[in-house]
Chain A
């Protein structure tokens, strides 16, 4: 069964610092990869997704992620974070063995950006 690992459970950064959140998945077949963000009190929102093509994916709010197939990774990056980026971030994967139906989430990373 596929699984998703997010290594950083809590990250604290100052404004303007660079961000990289790790995400690794375990599945050898074809995968679709997602990053979602959950702001306090709000629903999950899609930041970006990767289906195929250019492994460097750009999303909303200045976020990007790079798919490295050999490392089974899909790390999220932002060159300069803002206080408003304080939220919880979830990596998610769906795979061909489930018909690309089921979305499996990582445990999430809580990001706190101090002003």
Chain B
């Protein structure tokens, strides 16, 4: 089945630095990828939708200059948390749509635990 690889699984960074998270579709082409943030004991909150070759669409309240999303190829999307602060510490999850293997379905990465110290 479809597999999405997310890297790194855990990262600790200093306040003020930037962190890049990668999301790769390993065996399918993902024209659309989604980035979620999961707060403790809360739901997955959709941050943005990225379409290959175009600008990402951000949800209301998500700072696009802080959370930079790039979807340069059909198999790779990246999320860069810029000038990270402790409040950005969270669990970030990507997902990709595989129109061929599972029409209108979604495959999720295993997530990235970001800790900003």
Give 28 pairs: A residue, B residue, CB < 8 Å, sorted on A: A4-B43, A32-B104, A43-B4, A43-B93, A43-B108, A43-B109, A43-B110, A44-B93, A44-B95, A45-B108, A46-B106, A90-B43, A90-B44, A100-B104, A101-B32, A101-B49, A102-B34, A102-B46, A102-B49, A103-B34, A103-B106, A104-B46, A105-B36, A105-B43, A105-B45, A107-B43, A108-B42, A108-B43
The answer to whether A107 touches B42 (Cβ under 8 A) is yes
Residues from chain A with Cβ under 8 Å of B36 in the complex = 105
**Bound state CA distance, A108 and B111, in angstroms?**
16
How far does the alpha carbon of A87 sit from the alpha carbon of B34 in the complex, in Å? 23
Tell me, yes or no, whether A9 is within 8 Å of chain B by CB.
yes
1/0 per residue, CB under 8 A from A, across B84-99: the answer is: 0000000001010000
A103:B104 contact, CB within 8 angstroms: no
Q: What residue in chain B is nearest A101 (Cβ atoms)?
A: B49
Interface string of A96-114 (1 = CB under 8 A from B): 0000111111111000000
A-side interface residues toward B, CB under 8 Å? Answer: 4, 9, 32, 36, 42-46, 49, 51, 90, 100-108
Is residue B16 within 8 Å, beta carbon to beta carbon, of the partner chain? no
* Cβ of A44 to closest chain B Cβ, rounded Å: 4
In the complex, what residues of B have CB within 8 A of residue A104's CB? 46
Residues from 3 to 60 in B contacting A, C-beta threshold 8 Å:
4, 32, 34, 36, 41-46, 49
Taking the closest CB of chain A, its distance from the CB of B43, in whole angstroms, is 4
Query: Which residues of B sit under 8 angstroms from A44, Cβ to Cβ?
Result: 93, 95, 108
